[in-house]
């Protein structure tokens, strides 16, 4: 895998770190607005221009709202950003996510050719509250032919607070106790 950070000065890396924290804080604040809704979610994502730091798209998980198991925040962000740019490529952009992308979402970021993926909470953190596929985003990227730098966790504690908010904990409880469609199996 190509490391796009090669040759980056220490001051540029520090600047990127500060920008990463700023952009992560923005998506955490955006996602936190769902916590007072009837469908709270801890998963939010944004697509940001890598060089300018300008946000192109922000979105949250919509699996329950759209009845679509693929409507993860990261996948929705990639779809919406590509549609907005009228392109299948997000080269020149960074995906920020409040949680480490699952393999499906990481693959989407790779196929879209994002420069970087920056995440907050880890897959293990999310696994304390909901079902996960326990393959790290870095591992998915390392097994890919597409180059993408994966960095995280960034603001992990703040991102994890989305998972432990009282309204989110109630929602997780409801998710865990949901009955299969069509009643109980015989």
Residue 74: burial class (beta carbons within 10 Å; 0-12, 13-18, 19+):
buried
Question: Is 74 one of the annotated active-site residues of the chain?
Answer: yes
Question: Residues 6 or more apart from 141 whose CB is under 8 A from it?
Answer: 1, 106, 110, 117, 148, 149, 150
Q: CA dihedral in degrees (7, 11, 15, 20; nearest 10)? A: 50
**Cβ distance 122 to 153 under 8 Å?**
yes
Which of 21, 22, 26, 74 is catalytic? The answer is: 74
Beta sheet of 44-49, edge-to-edge order: 55-60, 44-49, 93-99, 116-121, 149-151
Token pair recorded at residue 120: 């907050």
Residues with a catalytic annotation lie at 74
């Amino acid at each position: 895998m190509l490391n796009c950070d090669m040759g980056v000065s220490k001051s540029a890396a520090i600047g990127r770190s500060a920008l990463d924290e700023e952009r992560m804080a923005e998506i955490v604040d955006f996602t936190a607005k769902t916590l007072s809704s009837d469908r709270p979610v801890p998963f939010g994502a944004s697509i940001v221009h890598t060089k300018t730091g300008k946000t192109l798209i922000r979105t949250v998980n919509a699996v329950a709202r759209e009845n679509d198991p693929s409507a993860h925040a990261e996948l929705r962000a990639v779809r919406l950003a590509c549609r907005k740019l009228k392109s299948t490529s997000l080269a020149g952009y960074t995906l920020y996510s409040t949680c480490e992308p699952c393999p499906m979402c990481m693959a989407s970021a790779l196929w879209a050719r994002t420069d970087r993926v920056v995440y907050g909470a880890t897959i293990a953190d999310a696994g304390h509250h909901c079902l996960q596929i326990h393959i790290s985003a870095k591992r998915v990227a390392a097994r890919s032919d597409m180059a993408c730098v994966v960095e995280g966790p960034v603001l992990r504690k703040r991102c994890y607070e989305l998972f432990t908010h009282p309204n989110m904990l109630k929602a997780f409880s409801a998710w865990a106790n949901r009955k299969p469609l069509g009643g109980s199996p015989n």
